[in-house]
A and B are shown apart, each in its own frame.
Chain A
């Protein structure tokens, strides 16, 4: 099996995640899209580490996981806070920061 297929999978996953972020309105689903994009990136990192025989890519993947875990905590907390105050989880309702 060609190792570049992993890169193709990573690209597909990233595209799905990006599309989710752009098209869905539910904040939880958008959040899941972001997670999907992060993991697609991780997959690309690991694949490149394998191709080049260099562990730097794998180390970076660990960093991304740690940061993503922290981000999930903060992000979910924000979403819940907004939901409590506005009774809505739609990202389009949170558009106060406009001109």
Chain B
């Protein structure tokens, strides 16, 4: 048993305390608030590191533990503890979130330097770190859900951080609403678990999953799996709930790096890997997960090829890379470890790429249009080198990080029987080639070629005037650290299957299976496709001149420029029918319900008006009425008597 298990609650408490101080104390903390935020995040990292070292010193079979703080809910058959699950999987996330999180906190100190609301920004960032750690450390689905909603809230607050602009506020709302759709999936999944297993904590549900399939029937297990997938789709921007991620780039760039690239959007993958035993009891749901992952990886890749907005291109890339992770998670035990491995390396190189994009925007007066970049490598050397390393990592060029993780997923996708290895494997392979093309396009458009901006000198008519300069050290150092991670992390963890062995207490031991094609052939094919994609992008965007306006293009490119019409599809399929439904409901309510009661009241009112005429003030007519009544009484009595 680990000795430092009791530290687990502090991982959540420290950043939460930081957030509380920053948000409650308000303007009084403006002068030093950002450093408090950095301190809270760094302290959490140190606590996490102590626990990690302790765990590394513990034998592998004793690395899984729970720290129960107390009873949270005790209501009849439902008993939920407030407990923290500490095992290699959650510790992996703790390290990723706190390490990358702390770097991004440091970066934000400089990036948000001129923002009057910097202190509030750091409050939200700390809130996010606390919620994310609660999500990964929770020992029950219900407590996980609290963190799940917490990161959703932090994401909403940070996307709309500059809510003075309407578009930003709308983007935040869009992300929030689409996430709610996914959250319903998690809620329904919990209800099904409660009905099937009578509990929602990992310790009860996951070991019982196999028996649950026989007791409750295959259909229930498939339903739980699909509902968990729905939740994961919402949080991880997978089809069909992917539309919010591109708009989420409205938030400050450090937010895009931390929340919408490295950590929060990967929570869906965490959920699925954590629920592994449940999914293995539902093979149909697993197949759907793999299909969703494969579709999204192609979708994101295609969109990424056409975007001119540097952040939206990176967002599409994130979507695509998470597609890889979902695909791996859908492959079963053979893929879980690689899904998390890719998640980890992706967290590093994609965060680095986003921070680089932020640095470029910093230099270019917050312009995001890559068609107005070009030739920045000499002016922003640190940014160019760190982004270049991240670029090589995401391409999967050996020996950079991405090679070790992505190639393993491609190999795992080729494992199996029948049509599946061919479809999933070839999709993953094709995705690697497209990834190489769009990431190289992004890199060359930004740093290579001729400059498409003006330095104010003569001969640059019409181009916007920019004065690019390298970012301050507070921004470049986090980028350098992340770039080092992008270079080395994959190789270090992949050596001797170190990472896969590390995760085994959680994901279980997967028998090594041979892909349908030899491994050396797969690696060669992947590298050939990657080089082809990169060369194509080099020819188009580094050698040839890049037009400053998007050139006329075939229909598929035009569609990709508008995210393959995802918003139109959502509007046509969901929003408009929803609006019609609500409008018809409002109409029915007005016409039938309100109309009925108002009509009844009006009828009684009119009847009263009629009856009022009888009250004419003439005594003799009252007397006649009484006499008439007497006559009626007489007739009734006579009729009853006879």
Neighbouring B residues of A94 by C-beta, 8 Å = 617, 619
Other-chain residue from B613, B618, B623 in contact with A92 (beta carbon distance below 8 A):
B618
B627 at the interface (CB under 8 A from A): yes
State whether B615 touches A91 (Cβ < 8 A).
Answer: no
Knowing A18-B627, A22-B627, say if A98 contacts B620 (CB, 8 Å): no
Q: Give chain B nearest CB distance to A66 CB in angstroms.
A: 23
Select B616's contact among A18, A30, A98, beta carbons within 8 Å. A98
Distance in Å from the Cβ of A15 to the closest Cβ of chain B?
Answer: 10
Q: Is the CB of B612 within 8 A of A99?
A: yes
Q: Mask for B338-382, Cβ within 8 A of A = 1, else 0?
A: 000000000000000000000000000000000000000000000
Q: How large is the interface on B (under 10, 10 to 19, 20 to 34, 35 or more residues)?
A: 10 to 19
Q: Does A46 contact B (CB under 8 A)?
A: no
Residue B624 is within 8 A (CB to CB) of chain A in the complex: yes
Q: Which residue of B lies closest to A94 (CB)?
A: B619
Cβ contact within 8 Å between A22 and B616: no
Interface string of B603-634 (1 = CB under 8 A from A): 00000000011011111100110010000000
Complex partner residue of B623 from A21, A25, A96, A98, CB under 8 angstroms: A21
Tally of A-B Cβ pairs under 8 angstroms: 33
Contacting B at CB under 8 A, from A82-99, are: 91-92, 94-99
Which of chain A's residues have a CB closer than 8 A to the CB of B627? Answer: 18, 22
Residues of B near A91 (CB, < 8 A) are 618-620
Q: What sequence of 0s and 1s flags, for each residue 17-55 of chain A, a beta carbon within 8 Å of any chain B beta carbon?
A: 010011101000010000000000000000000000000
Contacts known (A99-B612, A99-B613); A22 close to B618, Cβ less than 8 A:
no
Q: Is the CB of A95 within 8 A of B620?
A: no
CA distance A81 to B209 in the complex (A): 97
Interface residues on A, range: 10 to 19
Residues of B within 8 A of A25 (CB): 620
Q: Name the residue of chain B whose CB is nearest to the CB of A18.
A: B627
Whether B623 and A95, one on each chain, are in contact in the complex, defined by CB atoms closer than 8 angstroms, is no
- In the complex, what residue of chain A is closest to B623 when comparing beta carbons? A21
Q: Which residues of A contact B613 (CB under 8 A)?
A: 99
Q: How far is the CB of A90 from chain B (nearest CB, A)?
A: 10
Per the bound structure, the CA–CA distance linking A99 and B461 in Å amounts to: 87
Bound CA–CA A98/B618 (angstroms): 8
Q: Which residue of B lies closest to A95 (CB)?
A: B617
What B residues does A95 contact at CB under 8 A?
A: 616-618
Q: Name the CB-closest residue of B to A23.
A: B620
Cβ-defined contact, A21 with B620, below 8 A: yes
Contacts of B620 in A (CB 8 A): 21-23, 25, 30, 91-92
A50 to chain B, nearest CB (A): 22
> 25 interchain pairs (CB within 8 A)?
A18-B623, A18-B627, A21-B620, A21-B623, A22-B620, A22-B623, A22-B624, A22-B627, A23-B620, A25-B620, A30-B620, A91-B619, A91-B620, A92-B618, A94-B617, A94-B619, A95-B617, A96-B617, A97-B615, A97-B617, A98-B615, A98-B616, A98-B618, A99-B615, A99-B616
In the complex, given contacts A18-B627, A23-B620, A25-B620, what are 11 additional A-B residue pairs having Cβ atoms less than 8 angstroms apart? A18-B623, A22-B627, A91-B618, A91-B620, A92-B620, A94-B619, A95-B617, A97-B617, A98-B618, A99-B612, A99-B615
Rank and list the top 3 A-B pairs by shortest CB-CB distance, nearest first: A98-B617, A95-B617, A99-B612
